[in-house]
Amino acid sequence: MTIYSTIKSTGSYLPEKILTNADLEKIVDTTDEWIVQRSGIKQRHIAADTETTGNMATIAGLRALKNSGLKPEDIDGVIVATTTPDRTFPSVAVKVQAELGIKPGLAFDVQAVCTGFVYALTTADNFIKCGQAKRILVIGAEKMSSIVDWNDRTTCVLFADGAGAVILEATEHNDGLDGQGIHSTHLYANGNQRDLLQTSGGVSTTGDNGHIEMQGREVFKYAVSYMADVVGEVLEHNKITPEQIDWLVPHQANIRIIESTAKKLNMSMDKVVTTVDHHGNTSAASIPLALDEAVSKGDIKRGEMLLIEAMGGGLTWGAALVRF
Ligand code: UT7
């Protein structure tokens, strides 16, 4: 018997305010046609001034907790993936822990930008597999609107806010891909590419948060190739074929990147969870938001095999194979 981390439940939160492409046409020199053609985004949610990453993470976490039927005291730890924390310190995770009444245990943030959720999921999986925790609340939460330069049309039309959560639980079963849980995780970063997608400043440089700067075309090129590489690695590592994957759950940055990964896997787009059109790019929140939407709609069902993948600033990228 081996310990696996299974996804016990999901939950999410999106701010009430919706910003459409038509709204953006009034802010910067852009068009709905350009945004849809180049990225696939039609609208996105933007947090209110008073709404923080921690608030959104807490609501998503609470919903995941409710959907699990567990009590706060059943949770051993909280890991939050975010690039836009409420404060430089303490972490968003300790806020979520306190607000949800979770007992003292491990709680910390992970920062790997848009790959953050895959990094957090991997970290939690390893704590569970080595027996250091039984149940971990894993959240991806972002207020990207707070680090967007609203005068920069090349980035402000892409990024958005929200939070998604999963509860991972230790379960024991025999080895084999038929069993529920995380079967493999694959993480990468290439720090030589860190200036392709970055903020203009930070705590120990400019003393402020800075705003997003992206060499879009370059990032796009690497995203397509890294995603193809890492999904190929997942298949090879687990000795499976694309036909054995029920759902691709990708980071939602650009529909063209998602389509290219689906094509590589020879998967039809109706087996790909896509929320980029109505969520935009919510960085670390995008995968758990997409997952919760697909689970809530009844698209993703228990026992189905999911291939999760993401790519972001760093550059970072990664993937996970999970039987839901
Ligand atoms: O989530 C983390 C990872 N991030 C990503 O994966 C994002 C990767 N990059 C992308 O998704 C795409 O590169 C973008 C959506 C950002 C841009 O699409 P693109 O097809 O690569 O466009 P481009 O950057 O090559 O720009 C094409 C043209 C330029 O004009 P010129 O130089 O051809 O005259 C831009 O100035 O489009 C112009 N442009 C815009 N026009 C209208 C750039 N932004 C806009 C805009 N509205 N918002």
Q: What is the DSSP string of 90-154?
A: S-HHHHHHHHTTPPSSEEEEE--GGGHHHHHHHHHHHHHHTTS-SEEEEEEEEEGGGTS-TT-HH
pLDDT given at position 208: 95
What residues act catalytically? 114, 251, 281
Return the best residue to mutate from 154, 188, 194 for the ligand 1 pocket (most ligand atoms within 8 A of CB).
Answer: 154
CATH of the domain at 164: 3.40.47.10
pLDDT given at position 78: 98
Residues 53 and 142 in one domain: yes
Residues 166 and 190 in one domain: no
Residues 34 and 159 in one domain: yes
pLDDT given at position 70: 98
Residues 166 and 31 in one domain: yes
Residues 207 and 144 in one domain: no
pLDDT given at position 145: 98
Residues 224 and 250 in one domain: yes
217 lines ligand 1 (CB under 6 A): yes
114 lines ligand 1 (CB under 6 A): yes
User: What average pLDDT does the segment 63-86 reach?
Assistant: 98
Residues 35 and 124 in one domain: yes
Residues 113 and 14 in one domain: yes
pLDDT in tens, 16-41: 999 999 999 999 999 999 999 999 99
User: What average pLDDT does the segment 83-88 reach?
Assistant: 98
* Secondary structure of residue 51 in the 3-state scheme: coil
C-alpha 217 – ligand 1 centre gap (Å):
6
C-alpha 31 – ligand 1 centre gap (Å):
12
Residues 158 and 210 in one domain: no
Q: Among 133, 161, 176, which residue terminates a domain?
A: 176
Prediction pTM value? 0.98
Mean pLDDT of the chain: 97
CA-nearest residue, atom 35 of ligand 1? 154
User: What average pLDDT does the segment 169-190 reach?
Assistant: 96
220 lines ligand 1 (CB under 6 A): yes
Residues 192 and 308 in one domain: yes
> 43 is in which domain, residue-wise?
2-176
Reported as a pLDDT band with limits 50, 70 and 90, residue 324 is very high
Return the best residue to mutate from 44, 195, 217, 311 for the ligand 1 pocket (most ligand atoms within 8 A of CB).
Answer: 217
* Secondary structure of residue 10 in the 3-state scheme: strand
Residue 160: which of 83, 47, 53 has the closest Cα?
47
Domain count, the chain: 2
Q: Among 176, 203, 237, which residue terminates a domain?
A: 176
219 lines ligand 1 (CB under 6 A): yes
Residue 79: which of 103, 51, 57, 50 has the closest Cα?
57
Return the best residue to mutate from 28, 31, 38 for the ligand 1 pocket (most ligand atoms within 8 A of CB).
Answer: 38
The angle subtended at Cα 306 by Cα 303 and Cα 308, nearest 5°, is: 155
pLDDT given at position 132: 97
Residues 26 and 155 in one domain: yes
Under 8 Å between Cβ of 211 and 147:
yes
Residues 131 and 234 in one domain: no
What is the number of alpha carbons within 13 Å of residue 37 lying toward its C-beta?
Answer: 5
Reported as a pLDDT band with limits 50, 70 and 90, residue 135 is very high
Q: Among 142, 176, 210, which residue terminates a domain?
A: 176
